[in-house]
Chains A and B, each alone.
Chain A
Amino acid sequence: MVCKLVIRKEQIMLSKTDVQKIAALARVGLAEKEIEKYQKDLSAVLDWVEQLKEVDVAGVEPTAHIAGVKNVLREDNEEEFLNREDIIGLFPEAKDGYDKVKSVL
């Protein structure tokens, strides 16, 4: 199966700012020294998937869903959560049964 790792002449290279923007969108904190490694790794993958540019997809519908089911509904009935205590027990910080977090506003 031919799937070579071809290093092309004009490689995709994300900039430091690109990586910082992406990380911010993804809510993933990055240390300064990590940025370069992610720059390299992400760019390598993006460069490799460029091969998809060769494919002619004119008029082709995108596939979002392959199970072929549509509008699977159920009755809108109330059900009890029998494991409520277990779920609340998972909050990293709880107070009076609520999940305690930093101020939202």
Chain B
Amino acid sequence: MIRDLHNRLISKEITAVQLAEQYFAAIEKKDRDIFAYLTLTKDLALAQARKTDEKIASGEEVGILEGIPGAIKDNICVAGVRATAASKILDNYIAPYDATVVRKLKEAGAVVLGKTNMDEFAMGSSTENSAYGPTKNPHDFERVPGGSSGGSAAAVAGDMAAWALGTDTGGSIRQPAAFCGAVGLKPTYGRVSRSGAIAMASSLDQIGPITKTVEDAAIILGAIAGEDKLDATAARSADKDYLSYLTGDVNGLKIGVVKEYMEGLSDDAKKSMEKVLEKYRGLGAEIREIELPSAKYALAAYYLIMPAEVSSNLARFDGIKYGFRINDAEDSGVENAIPKSLLETYLDSRHYGLGTETKKRIMLGTYALSAGYYDAYYKKAQQVRTLIRKDFEKVFDPSADGVDLILSPTTPTSAFKLGEKTENPLEMYLADIFTVTANITGVPAISVPAPAVESAGRRMPFGFQLMGKWFDEENLLNAAHAYEKSQSTKPKA
């Protein structure tokens, strides 16, 4: 899609300003129902688009992203624009700088349409935890778009953005992409700078693209990846031309599948996965059964490591330097209101500014790190993390005839209905069961649309996930691209 738009711009079939205006018109028409966007950045977008038009008019050669409109998840900073992370505590926060990925996209000439809705502080798998209300799935307004990057996925799937950025800590790019029928890529940890993204869990977070096609994801990755002196963990990531690796040739590629992952899927989902495997076999790839014995503990380890890091990262939201602050005894609604002390500024600002799930995870993490519990909880989870990583190293080991990629469903089901999983929070956590392992180990992972599945009388999008070796986005993207290419040559059903 991005290449098509690029061609239309350079052939002067359409101007960048017209393209941006078309997208704003689509947003005007559809977003009342979908609610993908929290903030629109019309002035910024049109100013950027005008620059593109000037370049094209003067005959300058322009890059493939020049003038292409997209959306940014609201936990990633765009200078001068509100960044709320979908939380009341940042309702009035105007980002004073661009995140590195935003700066890079702006340098590539990309146009920013606005900031998208998400679960508060990226905590959730449905975008129902947003302080501003949920986003709807464009395929069925009674269903969730997934989370936490639900707004970004809905914007792309709903044709209200040509690309979008999300963040992924336990599956928050891939799961909403799968629910909405889009492509979602979580790069290797350390591939993309996290500077300017409101941190959730620093050893797990990654920024990545949500797009219509794999080629588009490769284009965005190429623009945002690379070293950054502002993020020490992105210190050794060299810029690469990912597009050049998309040959579509997967002959001899070894794809590992864990048998247990297919159990517990609905019959239709199993059929969908079987079709995907069959397609890869047809393309010359070898499908092999593999074992990841410790992976079944990944979700539990995640729900200790992540809250622990959250409790540290969210300590800064205390009403002091920015955001929501309760100072006046009248505001608080607390019985026996007394003049606020500094301690009460913290307690009340966080009490009223932070949502329930956010407070829950902060407290969980605080407990797991507290004296007397650190070893049993946090340290234990870190050790389990090592075991899971070793499992992956083993199956990927070329000297031991290992596989190149691991294939699984992205999620156990297609998109569930709004309100369906909010009663039992543990049930919501299980939505991430296939995605967390990539964050725990740091490997890159992509969700690609698989054949749609039947769900309560509707055909809904369903995704399959590929996980690759560390810093091997090339093979990952190529394999995903090969599947996608093979689908587009099928006769339309």
Interface flags, B358-375, vs A, CB<8A=1, else 0: 011011101100100000
Q: Is A104 a contact partner of B342 (Cβ separation < 8 A)?
A: yes
Size bin of chain A's contact surface: 35 or more
Q: Is A45 a contact partner of B426 (Cβ separation < 8 A)?
A: yes
Known: A1-B260, A3-B299. A27 touches B96 (CB 8 A): no
Residues of A within 8 A of B303 (CB): 45, 48-49
Q: Is B389 a contact partner of A66 (Cβ separation < 8 A)?
A: yes
Within the complex, the shortest CB–CB distance from B74 to chain A, in Å, comes to 16
Residues of A within 8 A of B382 (CB): 62-64
Q: Is A55 a contact partner of B96 (Cβ separation < 8 A)?
A: no
Residue B53, interface by CB 8 Å: no
Interface class of chain B by DSSP: helix
Residues of A within 8 A of B232 (CB): 69, 72
Residues of A within 8 A of B348 (CB): 29
Q: Is A29 a contact partner of B351 (Cβ separation < 8 A)?
A: yes
Within the complex, the shortest CB–CB distance from A58 to chain B, in Å, comes to 9
Within the complex, the shortest CB–CB distance from A94 to chain B, in Å, comes to 11
Q: Is B300 a contact partner of A60 (Cβ separation < 8 A)?
A: no
Interface residues of A in 12-70 (CB under 8 A from B): 18-19, 22-23, 25-31, 38, 41-42, 44-46, 48-49, 51-52, 55, 57, 60-69
Bound: A46/B340 CA distance, A: 34
Residue A86, interface by CB 8 Å: yes
User: What is the total number of residues of chain B having a CB less than 8 Å from a CB of chain A?
Assistant: 82
Q: Is B430 a contact partner of A3 (Cβ separation < 8 A)?
A: yes
Q: Is B235 a contact partner of A69 (Cβ separation < 8 A)?
A: yes
Known: A22-B370, A26-B311, A55-B384. A49 touches B321 (CB 8 A): no
Q: Is B304 a contact partner of A52 (Cβ separation < 8 A)?
A: yes
Q: Which residue from chain A places its CB closest to the CB of B259 in the assembled complex?
A: A1
Known: A27-B318, A51-B300, A52-B300. A38 touches B363 (CB 8 A): yes
Q: Is B387 a contact partner of A55 (Cβ separation < 8 A)?
A: yes
Residue B171, interface by CB 8 Å: no
Q: Is A48 a contact partner of B426 (Cβ separation < 8 A)?
A: yes
Interface class of chain A by DSSP: loop
Known: A22-B366, A26-B366, A29-B348. A83 touches B383 (CB 8 A): no
Interface residues of B in 314-341 (CB under 8 A from A): 315, 318-325, 327, 334, 340-341
Q: Is B321 a contact partner of A60 (Cβ separation < 8 A)?
A: no
Q: Which residue from chain A places its CB closest to the CB of B298 in the assembled complex?
A: A3
Q: Is B96 a contact partner of A83 (Cβ separation < 8 A)?
A: yes
| Contact with A23, one of B304, B363, B425 (Cβ below 8 angstroms) | B363
Bound: A83/B79 CA distance, A: 10
Most buried by A among B321, B323, B325: B321
Q: Is B264 a contact partner of A41 (Cβ separation < 8 A)?
A: no
| Contact with A99, one of B294, B320, B381, B430 (Cβ below 8 angstroms) | B320
Residue B94, interface by CB 8 Å: yes
Known: A5-B427, A22-B370, A28-B347. A93 touches B386 (CB 8 A): no
Q: Is B354 a contact partner of A28 (Cβ separation < 8 A)?
A: yes
Residues of B within 8 A of A99 (CB): 320-321
Q: Is A61 a contact partner of B342 (Cβ separation < 8 A)?
A: no
Known: A28-B350, A48-B303, A83-B96. A42 touches B360 (CB 8 A): yes
Known: A22-B370, A45-B426. A90 touches B233 (CB 8 A): no
Bound: A54/B224 CA distance, A: 41
Bound: A42/B14 CA distance, A: 55
Residue B23, interface by CB 8 Å: no
Q: Is B360 a contact partner of A61 (Cβ separation < 8 A)?
A: no
Residues of A within 8 A of B93 (CB): 90
Residues of B within 8 A of A101 (CB): 320, 342, 345
Q: Is A60 a contact partner of B386 (Cβ separation < 8 A)?
A: yes
Q: Which residue from chain B places its CB closest to the CB of A23 in the assembled complex?
A: B363
| Contact with A66, one of B433, B434, B442 (Cβ below 8 angstroms) | B442
Most buried by B among A42, A44, A55, A101: A55
Known: A27-B315, A48-B426, A72-B235. A90 touches B322 (CB 8 A): yes
Residues of A within 8 A of B240 (CB): none
Residue B415, interface by CB 8 Å: no
Q: Is B363 a contact partner of A1 (Cβ separation < 8 A)?
A: no
Q: Which residue from chain B places its CB closest to the CB of A62 in the assembled complex?
A: B382
Residues of A within 8 A of B37 (CB): none
Q: Is B384 a contact partner of A52 (Cβ separation < 8 A)?
A: yes
B interface list, Cβ under 8 A from A: 79-80, 93-94, 96-97, 189-190, 203, 229, 232-236, 258, 260-261, 263-264, 294, 296-297, 299-301, 303-304, 311, 315, 318-325, 327, 334, 340-348, 350-352, 354, 359-360, 362-364, 366-367, 370, 377, 379-387, 389, 412, 424-427, 430, 433-434, 441-442
Q: List 6 A-B contacts (CB under 8 A).
A: A1-B260, A22-B370, A27-B343, A62-B379, A92-B327, A93-B325
A interface list, Cβ under 8 A from B: 1-3, 5, 18-19, 22-23, 25-31, 38, 41-42, 44-46, 48-49, 51-52, 55, 57, 60-69, 72, 74, 83, 86-87, 89-93, 99, 101-104
